A and B are shown apart, each in its own frame.
Chain A
Amino acid sequence: MAKYKTEPLKCWDKAKELRSEVYDRIAKARDEGTMIVSGGTESAISLPAGFDMEFFGGEPYVAGCAFMGKNDSSKYMKYFETAEAAKFPRDLCAYMRLSVGSLLCNSYAFGGTYPKPAFNLQTHICDTQGKWYQIMSELEGVPYNALDLIPFEWESEYESEESKNLKHKYLKDQMLDIIDWMEDISGKKYDDEKFINALNCECESASLWAQCCMVNRSIPAVMDEKMMHSLYVIAALMRHEKASVNFYKELLDELKDRAERGIAAFENERLRLLLDGMPPWHSLEIYRYIEEFGGVSIGSHFSFGVSGGWAYDSKQDTRVPAMPPKEAGVELRTREDACSWYSKWLLNTNTILRSLKLSGQGKNKHILDLVKKWNVDGVLIHLNRGCEGTAAGQMEIRYFLAENNIPVITFEGNHADIREFDLPRVKTTINTFMETLDLKKL
């Protein structure tokens, strides 16, 4: 007999619909010759929103390719093989290789030719990001620019205000320059009002997703991580749009209601896990496998951070959903106001930049906070050969958790390249982990 009540998420279909719409709109823009801007999804996507454009974010697109490749590998494998034939080494970022392969094949996974952008705009958040779209731009023959983002350090480092001010000014000044650059290369007039509206939506979407994650502290969890991947992707794709804000408001209400009524994501939850690292998009069934033991992944540093806006609260010594401008009582009136807010927002609220935020001590503190606040019983760490940015610090986190008697196990794989993911072996690793916890299949 089930331990908890469960029911499907009402927002599920809406999430799928919004996700499809984005890819349809990109295809339409390609066919009609309207403006497409491309770059990593952690880019400052509200910046080009000062134009009428579609944003074609690299990571969610190729994550989709990896997921679809499970059932039909013809395009997916061709993308990899084409990138490798062009001499891009196989141990590089798997997202980047899929992206380069898709471009070189002139193929859009959702049909037709690869959507060529007017320009690429990237934010450099790991060793690969700034170079990825440099390569894409060279292959596409389109202009390229990148923001150099150097995030604020973890609170454990007591970074001086002077250092933070330098980083803030550095990023803000780059943003202002990039707006001029976009006007120059596109020959189009930049609309500050559209930019400000987009920024308000982006911050609100990120804050709302963080609030959704907070609801998942409930026992039983109202979302499992597999569901979360389908939900945070809306912000990854279109957080600068009003539709995204509306979606997360609806989702937050629904999650709160589920929590109040004790509706579980998984009816037999008995072991709350945190899966540190990126999901293996081609093998999402590992979440189902965990359920066979009564386990549920309640989220991860990645799922919480990739679309979430989190601010450090010194009184509680933890991270809480960051306040978007209006909630913080700030009205953004000018381009300068907006760039100033935006740069501070990106430097401060983006926990996904774990690899760039000094230090090891800060990373350990952050993971312990997640474990405690989300009532986690154990941690599975995906040592990701395909994304070393998110893998940075993971072995130290394993070491730290083990030292603190928190059950932890690692498995090596690749989030997007199925050739580097040994599913039976990962399942064996999970079996071993469950055995150490004295848990048998239900």
Chain B
Amino acid sequence: MIESFKRIYDNRHEYIGKWKEKHPDRKIMGYMCTSMPEEIIYAANALPIRILGGHESQNVSQQHMMGTFCPFSRDVLAQGLLGKYDYLDALGITHTCQHIYQAYESWVLHKNIKSFYIPTPNTSQTPHALPYLRGQLKLFLEKLEDWTGRKIGENDLRRGIEIVDTTRKLMKQIYEMRKSESPPISGLDSMLMVVAAQMSDKEEFNTILEDVIKNELPGRKAKATPSSRLMLIGSEHDDVKFIEMVENLDAIIVIDDHCTGSRYFWNTTEQNEDALTDIANRYIKKPPCPIKDFPVRKRTAHIVNLANEWNVAGVIEIQQKFCDPHELDRVAVSKALEKAGFPILNLEADVTMPVGPFRIRVEAFLEILSSEELF
């Protein structure tokens, strides 16, 4: 049921504790960026889970990370230093932004944990990125074999692809339903669905998704009356209070471009070559986040396309304070959206959200969206 999404999100550690009781022989790897190939971890019979922040004030990361590194990365590191993820058997990361990478480095330095780093390409636009990534994934696979003591064959990889692709397809199906005039699921529940998928065993989660699609969403309306349709874009964002606040106003979020949203699952795996090449190809083709979007700028067209297809009235860019990659894209993305006729509101987020001041700004934005053109 839809409530399961929030239950998993709110009780992520308890969920894993119970999971571990059921699967005492399986290992758990926490990861910090959605470029991590979960398929291969499933193929190794281990469980990949994404590490997110706790949205609580903390002071444990200050001595490890500079104050101008983004609040999300500092919050993530704090989770590790506070021992919230002590049940992890390993920590993994791909080549990602410097801030979250710092969280990984500090975590590895101060916690005695097995670590996996995959030096994935920064850009997917050169044709050489695919064979390079495939090669690095092979090395990652071999390290996983050593770690788990289990040989990973082509069939295992295909099984891993099947598990993860099923989640992707089901979540995309639900996102498609949000195109309707009265979306059956709110922006908040959609965000919770995606992060719950990142935090749980996908084999279990897929049954929840199937149940929600079959039994709960048909005929459902997330809001009783039509509201302003909004898109949410920007850096990592899983702040419940903010989304709740927006949707308690006369608005509903119908689409996003976030790594805690559509970017995580948008494309599935084309099965053309050997499994590792197919997996590499899937990550090469996934919608890029800003740091992977060069030399040609492809991200803006993808965002405008989503805004058009989901028929939004306006866009809120919610960006982690000090997030350089998204700041570097801000001018181009704003221009592209405005040119396409989508007003945009830029907001900067911290670990805890100033909901009151933000409410005033969102209300003003909604007023602009609904105002009559008088001249």
Contacts and interface: CB of A to CB of B under 8 A. Distances in A.
Interface of A: 86-89, 91-93, 122, 124, 126-128, 130-132, 134-135, 137-138, 144-146, 148, 150, 153, 160, 162-163, 166-167, 169-170, 173-174, 177, 355, 358-361, 364, 383, 385, 388-389, 391-396, 398-399, 412
A395 B98 contact: no
Interface of B: 63-69, 95, 97-99, 101-102, 105-106, 108-109, 117, 119, 121-123, 126-129, 132, 135-136, 139, 290-291, 294-295, 297, 322, 324-325, 327-332, 334
B328 A135 contact: yes
10 contacts: A92-B328, A130-B294, A131-B290, A132-B328, A148-B122, A148-B123, A163-B136, A361-B108, A391-B66, A395-B65
B105 A128 contact: no
Given A135-B328, A173-B128, A392-B98, A359 B108 contact: yes
Contacts of A86: 331
B66 A148 contact: no
B121 A150 contact: yes
Contacts of B327: 88-89, 91-92
A352 B126 CA distance: 25
A229 B328 CA distance: 28
A152 B332 CA distance: 33
A388 B324 contact: yes
Contact of A389 (B67, B98, B290): B98
B322 A91 contact: yes
A166 B132 contact: yes
B330 A87 contact: yes
A93 B324 contact: yes
| Of listed B135, B294, B322, B331, residue having the most chain A CB within 10 A | B294
Contacts of B324: 91-93, 127-128, 388
A234 B291 CA distance: 30
A385 B119 CA distance: 26
Nearest to A361: B109
Nearest to A165: B135
B102 A393 contact: yes
Contacts of A389: 98
B331 A88 contact: yes
A127 B100 CA distance: 12
Nearest to B132: A170
Contacts of B329: 131
A278 B334 CA distance: 32
Nearest to B107: A360
| Of listed A93, A127, A355, A395, residue having the most chain B CB within 10 A | A127
A127 B291 contact: yes
B37 to A, nearest CB: 16
A126 B327 CA distance: 14
Nearest to B95: A150
Contacts of A92: 324, 327-328
B231 to A, nearest CB: 19
Given A359-B108, A388-B66, A126 B98 contact: yes
Given A127-B325, A131-B329, A395 B64 contact: yes
A327 B322 CA distance: 45
Given A127-B98, A395-B63, 8 more contacts: A131-B325, A150-B95, A150-B121, A167-B119, A361-B109, A383-B66, A388-B68, A395-B65
A130 B117 CA distance: 22
Given A87-B331, A127-B324, A360 B109 contact: yes
Contact of B98 (A130, A169, A388, A399): A388
Contact of A144 (B64, B95, B295): B295
B135 A124 contact: no
Contacts of A358: 105, 117, 119
A88 B334 CA distance: 11
Contact of A146 (B63, B139, B294): B294
B69 A148 contact: no
